[in-house]
Structure 1
Amino acid sequence: MASTFHLKKAKDGQFHFNLLAGNGEIILSSELYKAKDSALNGIDSVKRNAPREGAFESKAASNDKHYFVLKASNGQVIGQSQMYASASGCRQGIESVRRNAPDAALRDDS
């Protein structure tokens, strides 16, 4: 199975998306968007920025877990990962987004 952006509508009427790896695991999640077009623009931004050098920032949470954010060239966060037990797992997650995002299909369930 190829990677997919899964666009959904939240209970409050806002939109969000997840990038799913080929195995169905969530590898990146978006913020909430008020308009569907804004969420679609967010997906396009992830596709454009994922291969860009310096687009990812690794972080450590207070519980010693690791995660990363993907930033647009203007510095705005456009997606965040799930928590990883190790820094190496976090690095693998970044590489997965870098590889999968540019060609991921869209599944629109909004």
Structure 2
Amino acid sequence: MGKFEIKTRKNGEFQFDLKAGNGQVILTSEGYTTKSNCNNGIESVKKNSQDDSKFDRKTSTNGKPYFNLKATNGQIIGTSEMYESESSRDNGIESVKKNAPEAEVVDLT
């Protein structure tokens, strides 16, 4: 079972990580100025992760595949790690789709 972990960055902003059942981070958020906004971001991930068109499949400048999850307004709400292959990236997307909707929220702040 996946989980969202909320933590505080060094600059005082809040961010969340979505972790798969094995503890691996599969999606990381931007920084939020308030915990409330961070929680809204989590809700947005739960909702938007079920729409494949919200996943923006990208390739970094060093050739590594990754993805962004976008909200309805087009804003990026989460970014994946860099993967070694497109198939690994696609597996990461499937993991977000599977884990996000029912993931518990753990507040580590």
Q: Does residue 1:53 correspond to 2:52, yes or no?
A: yes
CA distance in 2, matches of 1:79, 1:11: 19
Corresponding pairs, count: 109
Distance 1:90 1:78 in 2: 17
Matched, 1:109 2:108: yes
Does 1:77 pair with 2:62? no
Distance 1:68 1:58 in 2: 5
* Percentage of pairs with the same residue: 49
For structure 1, the residue ranges without an aligned partner over 5 or more in a row are: none
Unpaired runs of at least 5, structure 2: none
1:53: Cα distance to partner?
Answer: 3.1
CA distance in 2, matches of 1:104, 1:24: 12
Aligned partners of 1:64 and 1:78: how far apart in 2?
A: 22
SS at match of 2:87: helix
Calculate the TM-score normalised by the size of structure 2.
0.97
SS in 2 for 1:75: coil
CA distance in 2, matches of 1:38, 1:79: 14
State the one-letter code of the partner of 1:13.
G
Structure 1: 4+ residue segments shifted above 3 A: none
Q: In 2, distance between residues paired with 1:7 and 1:103?
A: 16
Deviations 1:34-77 (A, max 9, x none): 11100000000000100013010110011110100000111111
RMSD across aligned C-alpha pairs, in angstroms?
Answer: 0.7
Residue 28 (structure 1) aligns with: 27
Q: Which amino acid aligns with 1:79?
A: G
Q: Distance in 2 between matches of 1:76 and 1:82?
A: 18
Q: TM-score, normalised by structure 1?
A: 0.97
Distance of 2:33 and 2:61 partners within structure 1: 30
